[in-house]
Structure 1
Amino acid sequence: MGGTGGTVTAVSRDTGHNFTKPVRDSIRLLAGLGVEGDAHLGVTVQHRSRVAQDPTRPNLRQVHLIHSELHEQLSAVGHEVRPGELGENITTAGIDLHALPVGARLRLGADAVVEVTGLRNPCVQIDAFQDGLLKRVVGRDEEGNVLRRAGIMGVVLADGEIRPGDAIGVELPAGPHRPLERV
């Protein structure tokens, strides 16, 4: 699981629905809403393609987290990716985010709490950012199951300011654990 915690390495937000989010000195999480000043802030779904399907669905994608280790893995195969460039709000280190179960809680900094809801489902926009990147973050396992490696999504349970260098604590839900699925 990557131990009992990790560290925030970068934070990002953008008021527009752009693929890449600018890195900031800090971000503020708002319970039940998401990242203050971010285009995906809201109780109901804010992702444009999902709004088109059903704008009344709950927003299970209030916060997007990616582990910095993914950036390192992508760099090793020729894709230079920096924090925020894949649209994440929080870049982490020291936690295997994809191994977390649904309902895991991440305590970020002094006060913020995010509950993990599922996997980010990367789309073709990722190839517009860097050609060939989609096949690096979506693949298949030995049984042919789709593997998504472009981060996880969560909802904000408790307000808080988050900065690079802040500690991240992990609280696992009572079992049995449900593996992450696309949200």
Structure 2
Amino acid sequence: METVDHVAVTVDGGLAGDYRGAVKPGGRGRRQVTLMERIDWQAAMAEVGHNIAWSERRANLLVDGLDLPQVPGVRLRIGADVLLEVTRETDPCERMEALAPGLRAALTPDWRGGACTRVLAGGIIAVGDPIRIE
């Protein structure tokens, strides 16, 4: 994982530098960009009694001040140009349990582990860009 202050986002490739965001031939790109709410990560940390950096979750973007919609098909605008579509919940994996006992379960309720999205329109996003539901 690498933390950056800005990144290019494309319809075919997701976030620049993240090979998992590339749409595979015949694929639908349902997991191009993953987002997680800061408050959800903090709640999970409180539940397991740890203070692990959010980047260990391996979500692409940490969102602050927005309750991520838990409905596939909802669109999110980041900055002026980037448009994402929620596709599904980001399921917590066994790696979370290796970070802290109970973390996988702490990330399970109410999409606390985050949301997967596909890129509908690309552009450049940066830390502090506004994010809103369209």
- Structure 2: which 5+ runs fail to align? none
Secondary structure in structure 1 of the residue aligned to 2:36: strand
Instruction: Name stretches of at least 5 consecutive residues in structure 1 with no aligned partner.
Output: 1-20, 45-54, 140-146, 172-183
The equivalent position to 2:84 in structure 1, one of 114, 117, 139, is: 114
The answer to whether the aligner puts 1:95 opposite 2:66 as a matched pair is yes
2:92 is paired with a residue whose SS is coil
Equivalent AA in structure 1 for residue 118 of structure 2: V
Q: Which amino acid aligns with 1:105?
A: R
TM-score between both structures, scaled by the size of structure 1: 0.66
Q: What pairs up with 1:1-183 in 2 under 5 angstroms?
A: 21-44=1-24, 57-77=27-47, 78-97=49-68, 99-139=69-109, 148-171=111-134
- CA deviation after TM superposition for structure 1 residue 82, in Å: 2.3
What TM-score does the superposition give when structure 2 sets the normalisation length? Answer: 0.88
Matched pairs, number? 133
**Matched residue of 2:20: which SS?**
coil
Structure index of larger Rg: 1
- For the aligned residues, what is the CA RMSD? 1.8
Q: In the alignment, what sits opposite 1:49?
A: none
Task: Name the aligned partner's letter for residue 14 of structure 2.
Answer: G
Residue identity (%): 33
Q: Distance in 2 between matches of 1:108 and 1:148?
A: 20
Mapped to 1, the partners of 2:82 and 2:8 lie a distance apart of 9
The 3-state SS of whatever aligns with 2:21 is: coil
Q: Which has the higher helix share?
A: 2
The aligned amino acid for 1:23 is T
> Contact between 1:32 and 1:157, CA under 8 Å: does it hold in 2?
no
Asked if structure 1 preserves the Cα contact closer than 8 Å seen for 2:21 and 2:31, the reply is no
Encode CA deviations 1:24-68: one digit per residue, 9 max, x unaligned: 111211013311110213112xxxxxxxxxx85432000000000
